Amino acid sequence: MNNLNEKENQIAGLIKKYESDAVNLLKEVVNINSGSFNLEGVRRVGDVFSREFEALGFEVEWIPGDAWKRAGHLVARNHGKGHKILLIGHLDTVFEPDSPFQSYTMEEGNIMHGPGALDMKGGDVIMWLALKALKEAGNLEELDICVFLAGDEELSGEPLSLSKGDMIRWGKWADIAIGFEDGDGTAVNVNISRRGVLDWTLTVEGQTGHSSQIFQKDLGYGAIFEAARILNQFKEELEGEENLTFNPGIIAGGNEADYNPAKGIANVSGKTNIIAGKVIVQGDLRTVSGDQLEQVKVKMHNIVEHNNLLHTKASIYFEENGYPPMSMTDGNIRLLSLFNSVSADLGYGQVHPVNPRNSGAADISFVAGDVIMAMDSIGMVGTGGHTVDERAHLNYLPVEAGRTAVLLYRISNMGDEIFN
């Protein structure tokens, strides 16, 4: 810590002082089931964090999620000075009450094996510990902060315009947004770019008839061959584009076919001696920028609507609401550079940007386009997220909280030069 000033050394010392309190807080919330559909459980976790943030002097508000069929969101507000900073986490996990994975156990090496310990109750506690240290050091009043803990990150309520609307409004308020997801589970990588994701549905129709007459001019090729042509042409023309993926996740085809996207269930009927009359394909599309998304949508439309096989027709529909991309910006790069300096000065080494090709979507994407700087994945270190093998390496809890606290302290002492 030779490169820290006196105040920063004090903040780092306070992180150590309150580390055991942070671990106890993590144990408390991990043992509360908060699967996305367990509305009462999500609210209970929100109540715990409400208690903790109120003790730090934050104004706390619970936003009910009835309109999007989820528990809701917790907003904690510290009215301070300086740049407006939005800190993002979430309260829910992928483990519902019927999961066998309901509570934590401690393992050798200070490892917590528990539901949500990594993703992302650990990240929420890191955020709290950093702010606790700043409060005790007398520097929290220098920070204008909104903490936004979503109740439906793992399985967003619909429509997204409602479930993400409050977060988007806070994004428009903020200058800087920082997310505390676990990212790739390491302490050496963070996200300053994430790809957006949008669902698409391809519908193909063909002339049905006896299979003995397929390829003839009266009946043509049928819907399945046309769907195969389209999907193969997607692959041939688009797979080489950097940071782009498009995945046909489900396909249903036969004489008749229908698909219920809400339940993920397809129904088909047909016979081997009947030319397929209908195919439905649903998939997702991931792009790194809005421009890339629009360009790819045009290409996919052209493939679907032109050069159709004989007696077939096809259409593609793109969902209006998806996760927007978190594009790489100069501001994001500068924020990472500042975070990297903090990490090095604390003796924790360099921090590197994650290739967006290796990242999924996250809540920060809904605000990244409105802030000057954004960075994500400075949360807990561990392995096995979204599985019963989920583990958080608690030795890194003070590391991540210390880096966060000193970063926020340095931001509070910088004027507009931080953005230049």
- Read off the DSSP letter of residue 13: H
Cα–Cα distance measured from residue 303 to residue 308, given in angstroms and rounded to the nearest whole number = 9
- Helix/strand/coil (H, E, C) string of 347-415? CCCCCEECCHHHCCCCCCHHHHCCCCEEEECCCCCEECCCCCCCEEEHHHHHHHHHHHHHHHHHHHCCC
Give me the helices (H) in 155-274, please.
160-163, 165-173, 222-238
The number of beta carbons lying within 10 Å of the beta carbon of residue 370 is: 17
Buried (b) or exposed (e) across 253-290, using 16+ Cβ within 10 A?
bbbebebeeeeeebebebeeebbbbbbbbbbbbbbbbe
Query: What per-residue confidence (pLDDT) applies to 87?
Result: 98
Spatial contact of 256 and 278, defined as CB atoms under 8 Å apart: yes
Query: What per-residue confidence (pLDDT) applies to 420?
Result: 82
In the chain the domains, ranked by start, together with CATH numbers, are 6-194+326-419 (3.40.630.10), 196-318 (3.30.70.360)
Query: What per-residue confidence (pLDDT) applies to 261?
Result: 84
- Residue 221 sits at φ, ψ, to 5 deg, of -105, -15
- Residue bearing tokens 């994650």: 354
Residues present in the chain in total: 420
Query: What per-residue confidence (pLDDT) applies to 3?
Result: 86
Ranges of residues in the chain with a pLDDT under 70 are 1-2
Spatial contact of 230 and 202, defined as CB atoms under 8 Å apart: yes
Distances (CA, A) of 179 to 107, 150, 332: 27, 11, 12
Query: What three-state secondary structure class fits 236?
Result: helix
Residue in 213, 143, 151, 219 with CA at minimum distance from that of residue 413: 143
Query: What per-residue confidence (pLDDT) applies to 78?
Result: 98
Token pair in block for residue 273? 């001696």
Work out the burial of residue 109: count CB atoms within 10 Å of its CB; fewer than 13 is exposed, 13-18 middle, 19 or more buried.
exposed
| pTM (predicted TM-score) | 0.90
Query: What per-residue confidence (pLDDT) applies to 2?
Result: 63
Residue in 292, 283, 287 with CA at minimum distance from that of residue 316: 283
Query: What per-residue confidence (pLDDT) applies to 264?
Result: 84
Query: What per-residue confidence (pLDDT) applies to 262?
Result: 76
Q: Provide the terminal-to-terminal Cα distance of the chain, rounded to the nearest Å.
A: 27
The residues, any chain, with a CB within 8 Å of residue 273's CB and separated by 6 or more, are 210, 211, 212
Cα–Cα distance measured from residue 105 to residue 306, given in angstroms and rounded to the nearest whole number = 58
